[in-house]
Copies of this chain bind each other. A is one copy, B any other.
Amino acid sequence: MAPLKLGMVGGGQGAFIGGVHRMAARLDGCFDLVAGAFSSDPARAHASAAELGVAASRSYADFKDMAKAEAARPDGIDAVSIVTPNHLHGPIAEAFLAQDISVICDKPMTATLAQATSLLAVAQVSKGHFFLTHNYTGYPMIRQARQMVVEGALGEIRIVEANYLQDWLSVSPAEDNKQAKWRTDPAQSGGGAIGDIGTHAHNLACFVLGQRATSLSATLTSHVTGRLVDDDARISVQFAGGAQGHIWASQVAIGNENNLTLAVYGTKGSLRWAQENPNILWFTQLGHAPQMITRGGTAASSAASAVTRIPAGHPEGYLEAFATLYREAAAVISSQGKLGGTIGIQDALDGVLFVDACQRSSQGGASWIDLRPSI
Q: A286-B171, A291-B291 are in contact. Are A312 and B257 (CB under 8 A)?
A: yes
The majority secondary structure among interface residues of chain A is: loop
Task: Say yes or no: is A269 at the interface (Cβ < 8 Å to chain B).
Answer: yes
Task: Say yes or no: is A248 at the interface (Cβ < 8 Å to chain B).
Answer: yes
**Using Cβ atoms and an 8 Å threshold, which residues of chain B touch A255?**
265, 269-270, 272, 282, 284, 290
**Residue pair B23, A27 in contact (C-beta under 8 Å):** yes
Closest residue of chain B to A139 (Cβ to Cβ) is B315
A283 to B219, CA, bound (A): 27
Closest residue of chain B to A296 (Cβ to Cβ) is B257
**Residue pair A313, B254 in contact (C-beta under 8 Å):** no
**Residue pair B246, A270 in contact (C-beta under 8 Å):** no
A16 to B310, CA, bound (A): 8
How many residues does chain A have at the interface if contact means C-beta atoms less than 8 Å apart? 81
A53 to B3, CA, bound (A): 9
**Residue pair A298, B293 in contact (C-beta under 8 Å):** no
Task: Say yes or no: is A279 at the interface (Cβ < 8 Å to chain B).
Answer: yes
Copies in the complex: 4
The contact string, 1 if C-beta is below 8 Å from chain B, for chain A 261-272, is: 001011111101
**Using Cβ atoms and an 8 Å threshold, which residues of chain B touch A291?**
288-292
Task: Say yes or no: is A40 at the interface (Cβ < 8 Å to chain B).
Answer: no
**Using Cβ atoms and an 8 Å threshold, which residues of chain B touch A265?**
250, 252-255
A254 to B109, CA, bound (A): 35
Interface residues of A in 320-336 (CB under 8 A from B): 320
Task: Say yes or no: is A202 at the interface (Cβ < 8 Å to chain B).
Answer: no
- Interface residues in chain A, defined as those with a beta carbon under 8 Å from any beta carbon in chain B: 2-3, 16, 19-20, 22-23, 26-29, 52-53, 158-159, 166-167, 170-171, 217, 219, 221, 223, 232, 234, 236, 244, 246, 248, 250, 252-259, 263, 265-270, 272, 275-279, 282-294, 296-299, 309-320, 366
Closest residue of chain B to A163 (Cβ to Cβ) is B161
29 contacts between A and B (CB under 8 A): A2-B53, A3-B53, A23-B27, A26-B27, A26-B29, A27-B27, A27-B319, A159-B223, A254-B270, A254-B284, A254-B286, A255-B269, A257-B312, A257-B313, A258-B313, A258-B314, A277-B315, A278-B315, A283-B289, A287-B298, A289-B292, A289-B293, A289-B297, A290-B292, A309-B319, A315-B315, A316-B317, A317-B320, A319-B320
**Using Cβ atoms and an 8 Å threshold, which residues of chain B touch A219?**
236
**Using Cβ atoms and an 8 Å threshold, which residues of chain B touch A313?**
166, 256-259, 275-276
**Residue pair A257, B297 in contact (C-beta under 8 Å):** yes
- Pick the contact of A288: B159, B299, B310 (CB < 8 A): B299
Taking each of A158, A267, A297, which has the highest tally of chain B beta carbons within 10 Å of its own beta carbon? A158
